């Protein structure tokens, strides 16, 4: 693994927050249901649990698309605190998937709703030979906040519609 500076754009943590007019329990039920992530994410197309296990250590496979690029990753749940946080990591693979990123949602009660924050931080970079390809075909991977905003907005719409229907 290459040692890099904290100022390296690949390793800068990113986060986006929005207010959702739904309880933390409603929001948490959505963001921790990885099999629904394809409904909201502009890049993740689907995700499927690999077995019946849930909670910390559970694994799922996410399938992604960006432009002409398609790939899948095995992910492992790192934090599973109902109504508070759901975080996972991409497990390093071989060749073009040897990097690892921590992704997560943090929920904070706020009046009649929830502040929902999505965070991500690459903790292991792709191999140096593969980085120019990523910069060329998926430059947004250096700063995913636009995609994260789209995901949060879509989760918000779903959570608020669900909360309204429950009233």
Question: Does the pTM exceed 0.85?
Answer: yes
Q: φ and ψ at 34, to 5 degrees?
A: -60, -25
Please give the C-alpha separations between residue 55 and each of 17, 49, 100, 145, 150, in angstroms, as whole numbers.
24, 11, 19, 26, 26
- The pLDDT of residue 97 is 64
pLDDT of residue 166: 74
Looking at residue 95, its pLDDT comes to: 64
**Alpha carbons 56 and 4: distance in angstroms, whole number:** 29
CB atoms within 10 A of CB 85: 19
Under CATH, which architecture does the 14-166 domain have?
A: 2-Layer Sandwich (3.30)
Under DSSP, is residue 27 helix (H, G, I), strand (E, B) or coil?
helix
DSSP character string of 95-119: GGG--EEEEEEEEEEETTEEEEEEE
Domains of the chain by residue range: 14-166
- Residue (of 33, 17, 23) closest to 162 by Cα position: 23
Tokens read off for 7 = 């100022």
* Residuewise pLDDT in 10s, the chain (167 residues): 333 445 677 778 899 999 999 999 999 999 999 999 999 999 999 999 999 999 999 999 999 998 888 889 999 999 999 999 999 999 987 766 677 889 999 999 999 999 999 999 988 777 777 778 777 777 777 788 999 999 999 999 999 999 887 76
């Amino acid at each position: 693994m290459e040692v890099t500076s904290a100022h390296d754009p690949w390793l800068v943590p990113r986060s986006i927050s929005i207010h959702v007019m739904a309880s933390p329990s409603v929001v948490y039920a959505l963001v921790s249901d990885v099999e629904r992530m394809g409904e909201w994410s502009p890049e993740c197309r689907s995700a499927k649990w690999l077995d019946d296990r849930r909670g910390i250590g559970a694994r799922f496979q996410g399938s992604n698309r960006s432009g002409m690029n398609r790939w899948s990753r095995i992910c492992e749940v790192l934090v599973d605190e109902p109504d508070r946080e759901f975080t996972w990591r991409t497990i390093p693979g071989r060749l073009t998937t040897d990097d690892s990123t921590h992704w997560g949602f943090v929920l904070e009660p706020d009046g009649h709703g929830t502040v929902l924050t999505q965070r991500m931080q690459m903790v292991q970079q792709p191999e140096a030979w593969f980085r120019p390809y990523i910069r060329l075909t998926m430059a947004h991977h250096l700063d995913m906040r636009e995609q994260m905003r789209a995901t949060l907005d879509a989760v918000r719409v779903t959570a608020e519609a669900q909360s309204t229907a429950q009233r």
